[in-house]
Structure 1
Amino acid sequence: MELSRAALIVGGVVMAGTYVPFTLTHGPTSINIEHEILGWDMHDWGFLMGTVPYLLISAGLWRLRGLIAGARPGLVVMCVVMVLFAAMNVPFRAIGPPFDLFLLAPASVIVAATTPLRGAARTVLIALAAAYCCATALTLIPLETSDGFGGYRIFGLIAYAGVGVLWALFGAVSGERDR
Structure 2
Amino acid sequence: MISPSYCTTMARYNAWQNGQLRAAFAVLSAADWAQERGAFFGSIRATASHLLWGDTIWMSRFDGGDAPAGGIADSGALVSTVSEWSLARGLLDARIARWAEGLRPEDLDGPLTWYSGAVRAQVTQPLALCVAHMFNHQTHHRGQIHAMLTAAGSTAPVSDLAFMPAAPG
Decide: shared fold, TM above 0.5.
Answer: no
Give the strand-richer structure, 1 or 2: 2
TM-score between both structures, scaled by the size of structure 1: 0.39
